[in-house]
């Protein structure tokens, strides 16, 4: 395990930025541990996620997998969040990303909890909802807008567009770690910590 990972049970922030370095979501959580798929961070009920102009508290517990880094880049290219008791029935939400990695926040943006993981949010998301709507690739309009605004490199565009379709297929097929059992192990571990807060606080 990398020295950048905190001890299991440590409160932390997972901070996203956009391609131009501007701040995006900063998610409070607690480091849970690692398995064959990567490292897991839990967000108990009542813990916060913030970005400029928006904030919400988790109404149900969720856990986020930061996959093992690529041997080529030393980073991951997505983060998988698995929800339990989500008010809109969202079971899986995958943020496609770039340079998703463990380590201190190089930009030193203030957060209440120390930043132990960062990544660049790359617009496209893969979503699975319990119910008729099922699984789809989301935010294609934002992706198309930012292709122009941020001038993403051609190799990054090709990689992420192919990855979105691959992830959509794997989520629909419920291939591990996109199955129920893998996430539920970590959701059970999170809830056993008893860290929920009153969402009104």
Cβ within 8 Å of residue 190, ≥6 positions away: 30, 32, 42, 43, 44, 61, 63
- pLDDT, position 155: 96
115-129 and 134-138 beta bridge pairing: antiparallel
pLDDT score, position 126? 98
CA 184/CA 140 separation, integer angstroms: 29
Q: Which of 45, 49, 50, 79 is nearest to 62 (CA)?
A: 45
Burial 83-99 (b: 16+ CB within 10 A, else e): bbebeeebbbbbbbbbb
Output the pLDDT for position 72: 86
Is the whole-model pTM more than 0.85? yes
CA–CA distance, 172 with 166 (Å, rounded to integer): 10
From the number of C-beta atoms within 10 Å of its C-beta (0-12, 13-18, 19+), residue 133 rates as exposed
* β-strand pairing of 11-17 with 115-129: parallel
Nearest one of 13, 33, 11 to 23, comparing CA atoms: 13
d(CA 116, CA 106): 10
Residues of the chain with pLDDT under 70: 1-3, 105-110, 199-201
Omega of the bond leading into 57 within 30 degrees of 0 (cis) = no
Total H helices, total E strands in the chain:
3, 10
């Amino acid at each position: 395990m990398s020295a950048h990972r905190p001890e299991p049970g440590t409160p932390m922030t997972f901070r996203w930025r956009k391609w131009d370095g501007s701040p995006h979501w900063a998610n409070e959580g607690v480091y849970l541990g690692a398995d064959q798929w990567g490292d897991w961070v839990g967000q108990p009920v009542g813990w916060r996620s913030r970005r400029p102009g928006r904030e919400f508290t988790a109404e149900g517990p969720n856990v986020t997998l930061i996959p093992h880094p690529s041997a080529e880049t030393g980073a991951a290219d997505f983060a998988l969040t698995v929800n339990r008791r989500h008010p809109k029935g969202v079971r899986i939400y995958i943020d496609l990303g770039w340079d998703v990695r463990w380590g201190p926040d190089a930009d030193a943006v203030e957060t209440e909890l120390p930043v132990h993981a960062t990544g660049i949010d790359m617009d496209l998301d893969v979503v699975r909802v319990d119910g008729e709507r099922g699984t789809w690739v989301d935010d294609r309009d934002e992706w198309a807008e930012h292709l122009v605004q941020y001038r993403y490199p051609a190799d990054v565009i090709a990689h992420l567009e192919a990855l979105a379709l691959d992830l959509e297929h794997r989520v629909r097929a419920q291939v591990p770690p996109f199955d129920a059992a893998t996430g539920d192990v970590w959701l059970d571990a999170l809830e056993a910590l008893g860290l929920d807060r009153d969402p009104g606080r």
